[in-house]
Amino acid sequence: MRFANWLLVALALLVMSSPVQAQRQKLKVNEEDFVKEAPVVGNKLPDVTVYSPTGTEFKTADLRGHYTVLTFGCLT
């Protein structure tokens, strides 16, 4: 029984120190830092000029009157 417990602890340690776990920890810290940065929840979305893919200018302040989900991305 004692050996089984020891084995469980060892296994848990092994999992925690795996690259996957390290990656998860890094992502968690990144998330925690990010929520503290401006704009924090409750702040207005900064108003800047952006473009449609065909080049039409518009302001981010125009994104009103509905819930909006914004996700940053690119081709890579």
Partner 1 sequence: MWNVSGLEAVHRDYESKGVKFFFIYKSLAHPELAGDYVQPFTLTERLAHARQAEKQLGATIPWIVDAMDNRLKHALGNRPNSEFIVNPEGVVVRKRAWSHPAGVRKDLEELVGPVERITREEDVHLKIELPVKAPAARGVVQRLKRPRTVAIVMEPKIEERGLPFFAKLRAEATDELVSDGAGKLYLGFHLDPFQNAHWNNLTRSLSFKLEVPDTAKFEQTSGVAPKVEAISDTDPREFLLNVEAWPKDQPLRLTVTYAACVGEETCHQVKQEYVLHRRRDPDAGSARGEGAGYWDRDEFAQQQLAGDKDKDGKLSRTEVRGLVLPHFDALDTNKDGLLEFEELKAVSDWLNHHHQPGAMRTDSAAKPPIRLKAKP
The residue type found at 48 is: V
Residue owning tokens 């009157």: 65
Task: Tell me how far CA of residue 64 lies from CA of 3, 45, 60, 61, in angstroms.
Answer: 61, 10, 9, 7
Q: Does 27 bind partner 1 (CB under 8 A)?
A: yes
Nearer to partner 1, 2 or 36 (CB): 36
Prior bond of 39 cis (ω within 30°): yes
Judged by CB under 8 A, the residue of 1, 3, 4, 48 near partner 1 is: 48
Query: Measured from the CB atom, is 1 or 69 closer to partner 1?
Result: 69
Binding site for partner 1 (CB under 8 A): 18-20, 23, 27, 30-31, 33-35, 37-46, 48-55, 60-61, 63-76
